[in-house]
Every structure is written in structure tokens, then in C-alpha cells.
Amino acid sequence: ETGVTQTPRHLVMGMTNKKSLKCEQHLGHNAMYWYKQSAKKPLELMFVYSLEERVENNSVPSRFSPECPNSSHLFLHLHTLQPEDSALYLCASSQDGFLTYNEQFFGPGTRLTVL
């Protein structure tokens, strides 16, 4: 595997279910991101982990719970979601550092549908 991978690619869940999204990066990066992409809206940054420490949480509801066990893996745990949470969830990674380019590499996303 190369780049950034995400599983599952598609997920349908009920509002009472608990599920997890997984992201893995094979690029040796030290920062990972979760974004939410909804139709006709800009990408919304949800969480950022830098050196396995959460450095940003953009007022995301507690029904979304991130986890970063190491620099290569990032999870997004989901529980009691709402239909408006249906969206494409993108994971990205970059190499952290000041005054550097820090290009973000994106995964293919998980298409989430909440019934």
C-alpha cells in the first residue's frame, strides 16, 4: 500500500450504531487530519493530530471521537450520529514543520450515510 488509505470506502449506519473509520498513511508523515466534505460546502477541518497529539478540534460534536494510536494510524469513532452527518470523510497527512511546504496528501475518503 502506498500513500494514504481509508477503510471502509462506504458505510451505512443507523443513528444508534457505533462504527469506526480508519486511516493509514505510508508516507512517514507526522501530522494527520480528518475533514468532512458535504455537498456544496467547503471542506471542514475536524481534527488535527501532530506527533500523535491532538492539536486542533474545530468544535466537532462529541459523537465524533478521534484516536491516533501512532503516527501512521488515525481513527474516527462514530456513535449516535444524525442524518446531517452523512458526508464524505477525508483523511490527510503531512510532514509537520515550520516554514516548510507541508503538502497534505489525501486518502480516497469514506462515504458515510446515516439513516
Chain positions contacting other proteins, by CB under 8 A: 3-4, 31, 33, 40-43, 45, 48, 50, 55-56, 90, 94, 96-104, 106-109
Please give the Cα distance from 35 to 87 (Å, whole number).
10
- CB of 16 or CB of 41, closer to other proteins: 41
Q: Could you tell me if 114 and 13 are in contact, meaning their C-beta atoms sit under 8 angstroms apart?
A: yes
Nearest approach in angstroms of CB 65 to other proteins is: 20
DSSP tag of 102: -
Nearest approach in angstroms of CB 41 to other proteins is: 7
Nearest approach in angstroms of CB 60 to other proteins is: 15
- CB of 13 or CB of 45, closer to other proteins: 45
The number of C-alpha atoms within 13 Å of 74 and in the hemisphere containing its C-beta is 35
Nearest C-alpha neighbor of 4 from the set 89, 101, 113: 89
